[in-house]
């Protein structure tokens, strides 16, 4: 449950806008996302929250933190990418979410390719428990013909895997932020990273010593289209991406690209989809296209003038607001979610009944 008590401390004009938009956002969430249940289902999501929280375009407004918290609170468990080295943004978010929400995050990935980013899992501890497993994935060396081992180049941003329990279900959750490389749809460096992590996790689920046989791989894969080699690498590793997810709209705000994905290697008798999934477009209710004038006073000087002090054109200011400033308030990605079934009471009781009938 989101804690709203500090809203009263905000300036009157901000408070009025925030309350109005929160009500609209809640109405939209009610329409699009299933109601959370106590034990029958699990709502799982993934969201790349752009540079959370870097001050490049000014610190995120308190208003934005409330909107982000309101969205996250509709799920039971969510993977977040692009958490920054400075954790103030995450701490602000957790304060608004309240004490039931817990989080696990990685250390920063160093180097220019890693961008000092962290990965994080946020979960409602009333519904989900951390099973103890937590680790950053390290790719093993490759055995050479002469028997020696050759180290491999690790992924630019180290994937994060944790074990969780909810209801009757035990599963591993691995989140990634695959390297961008170039603006092309299928640069070899991106294809290679997806291939490496997918094959590695495929082998992990085949290992009887794995913490769980159920595995969900999710995050920002920078996949353009479903017929690209980047997407096919997931399928080659025998991950299943259900039709309900493949039919969803793009998660990229700027272009029709399917950057974010949720892929499965699961046992159907202990974890399964209900058939419900979605991509939530928050820009229909908050930081809307038509709201530019409302936020003009909050944007940096670069919105108004160039480096020489010349006034910006209306077209430039419109692009600045839509593509840069507001995406650093909310994100340039939309959250993707899926509903999973986690209650298998009937199946277990029927199994016991069959065993009894068989004389066991």
SS (H, E, C) 128-171: CEEEEEEEECCCCCEECCCCCEECCCCCCCCCEEEEEEECCEEE
Query: DSSP string covering 213-226, please?
Result: S-EEEEEE-----T
Say what the pLDDT of residue 179 is.
Answer: 94
Query: DSSP string covering 290-354, please?
Result: GGHHHHGGGS-GGGTB-TTSPBPPHHHHHHIIIIIIGGGTS-SB--EEEEEE---HHHHHHHHHH
Distance CA 37, CA 234 (A): 30
Say what the pLDDT of residue 269 is.
Answer: 73
Per-residue DSSP letter, 59: P
Q: Give pairs for 180-183: CB < 8 Å, separation 24+.
A: 180/222, 181/222
> For strand 169-177 and strand 215-220, is the pairing parallel, antiparallel, or unpaired?
parallel
Q: Residue 48 forms beta bridges with which residues?
A: 81
Say what the pLDDT of residue 63 is.
Answer: 96
Distance CA 40, CA 70 (A): 22
Say what the pLDDT of residue 48 is.
Answer: 98
Say what the pLDDT of residue 300 is.
Answer: 93
Taking only the tens of pLDDT, the chain with its 360 residues reads 899 999 999 999 999 999 999 999 999 999 999 999 999 999 999 999 999 988 888 789 999 999 999 999 999 999 999 999 999 999 999 999 989 999 999 999 877 677 889 999 999 999 999 999 999 998 888 877 777 788 888 899 999 999 999 999 999 999 999 999 888 999 999 999 999 999 999 999 988 899 998 999 999 999 999 999 999 999 999 999 999 999 999 999 999 999 999 999 998 777 899 999 999 999 999 999 999 999 999 999 999 999 999 999 999 999 999 999 999 999 999 999 999 999 999 988 998 999 899 886
Distance CA 155, CA 139 (A): 8
Say what the pLDDT of residue 57 is.
Answer: 82
Distance CA 206, CA 9 (A): 53
CA distances in angstroms from 5 to 223, 269, 310, listed in the order given = 40, 43, 43
Q: What is the pTM of this model?
A: 0.95
Say what the pLDDT of residue 359 is.
Answer: 80
Say what the pLDDT of residue 312 is.
Answer: 96
Q: Torsion angle, CA of 249/253/256/257, rounded to 10 degrees?
A: -90
Which phi and psi (to 5°) does residue 203 adopt? -65, -35
Say what the pLDDT of residue 303 is.
Answer: 94
């Amino acid at each position: 449950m989101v804690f709203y008590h500090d809203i009263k401390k905000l300036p009157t004009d901000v408070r009025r806008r925030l309350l109005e938009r929160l009500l609209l956002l809640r109405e939209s969430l009610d329409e699009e996302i299933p109601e959370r249940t106590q034990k029958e289902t699990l709502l799982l999501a993934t969201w790349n929250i752009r540079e959370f929280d870097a001050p490049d375009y000014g610190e995120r407004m308190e208003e934005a933190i409330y909107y982000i918290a309101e969205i996250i609170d509709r799920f039971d468990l969510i993977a977040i990418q692009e958490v920054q080295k400075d954790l103030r943004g995450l701490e602000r978010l957790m304060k608004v979410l309240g004490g039931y929400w817990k989080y696990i995050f990685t250390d920063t990935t160093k180097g220019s390719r890693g961008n000092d980013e962290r990965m994080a899992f946020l979960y409602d501890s009333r519904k989900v428990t951390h099973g103890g497993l937590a680790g950053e994935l390290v790719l093993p060396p490759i055995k050479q013909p002469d028997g020696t081992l050759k180290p491999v180049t690790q992924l630019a941003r180290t994937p994060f895997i944790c074990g969780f329990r909810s209801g009757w279900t035990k599963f591993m959750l691995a989140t990634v932020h695959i390297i961008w490389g170039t603006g092309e749809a299928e640069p070899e460096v991106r294809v290679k990273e997806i291939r490496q992590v997918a094959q590695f996790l495929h082998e992990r689920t085949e290992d009887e010593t794995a913490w769980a046989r159920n595995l969900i791989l999710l995050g920002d894969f920078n996949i353009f289209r479903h017929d690209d080699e980047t997407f096919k690498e997931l399928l080659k590793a025998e991950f299943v991406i259900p039709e309900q997810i493949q039919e969803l709209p793009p998660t990229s705000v700027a272009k029709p690209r399917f950057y974010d994905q949720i892929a499965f290697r699961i046992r159907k008798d202990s974890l399964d989809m209900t058939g419900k999934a979605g991509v939530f477009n928050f820009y229909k209710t908050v930081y809307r296209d038509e709201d530019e004038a409302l936020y003009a006073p909050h944007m940096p000087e670069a919105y108004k003038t160039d480096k020489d002090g010349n006034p910006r054109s209306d077209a430039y200011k419109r692009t600045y607001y839509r593509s840069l400033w507001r995406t650093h308030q909310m994100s340039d990605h939309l959250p993707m979610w899926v509903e999973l079934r986690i209650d298998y009471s009937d199946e277990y009781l029927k199994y016991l009944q069959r065993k009894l009938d068989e004389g066991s």
